[in-house]
Amino acid sequence: MKIYVLTCCAVLHLATGTELVPSHDGLRFVKPTTCDERECPHGGCVFRDCNEPVSCKGGLCDFINCKSPDCGGGVCTIVEAEDGSCPGGLCNFVKPKRSLKEDYCTGGLCLVDSKGQVSSPGSLSE
């Protein structure tokens, strides 16, 4: 799987001419995306220091220090964010700045600081 992702990203890089950077977890490459773009429909973007909500419909995005990121496509890494949601599921929330809302992972199977969580009030208070 890693070889496929790296090959896919290398082909994307050659085809688009954009600079790709390693993802937060180092398992794939992502495209730096400005906060002004606000959406990543194709997935594989990285947003940094966004003060307005940003979203990733395509999944596999990184959100670093962003306010209210939304990962509709799932499998995103959300680092030191305020709020945040993962309707696509399988997201990893790393060092959230605030307690996550009850419905932060409607897609299911999310991690918080590398630990499995259930998106319910009881799990959020632990």
Look up residue 19 and give its amino acid: E
DSSP 113: T
d(CA 83, CA 93): 10
pLDDT for res 116: 86
pLDDT for res 4: 47
DSSP per-residue letters across 5-68: HHHHHHHHHHHH----EE-TTSSSEEEE--GGG-B-TTS-EEEES-SS--B-SSS--EEES-BS
Q: Is residue 123 part of a domain?
A: no
pLDDT in tens, 78-119: 999 989 999 999 999 999 998 888 899 999 999 999 898 765
The whole-number average pLDDT for the span 73-78 is 98
Q: Is residue 125 part of a domain?
A: no
Q: Is residue 42 part of a domain?
A: yes
Q: Is residue 11 part of a domain?
A: yes
Q: Is residue 16 part of a domain?
A: yes
Q: Is residue 122 part of a domain?
A: no
Question: At CB < 8 A and 24+ separation, what contacts does 44-53 make?
Answer: 44/9, 44/12, 46/21
pLDDT for res 120: 47
pLDDT for res 118: 60
pLDDT in tens, 26-46: 999 999 999 999 999 999 999
pLDDT for res 123: 44
d(CA 11, CA 24): 21
Count of structural domains within the chain:
1
Q: Is residue 124 part of a domain?
A: no
pLDDT in tens, 36-73: 999 999 999 999 999 999 999 999 999 999 999 999 99
In terms of residue numbers, what domain contains 31? Answer: 2-115
Q: Is residue 126 part of a domain?
A: no
The answer for residues whose C-beta is within 8 angstroms of residue 8's C-beta and 6 or more apart is none
- Confidence class for position 6, pLDDT limits 50, 70, 90: very low
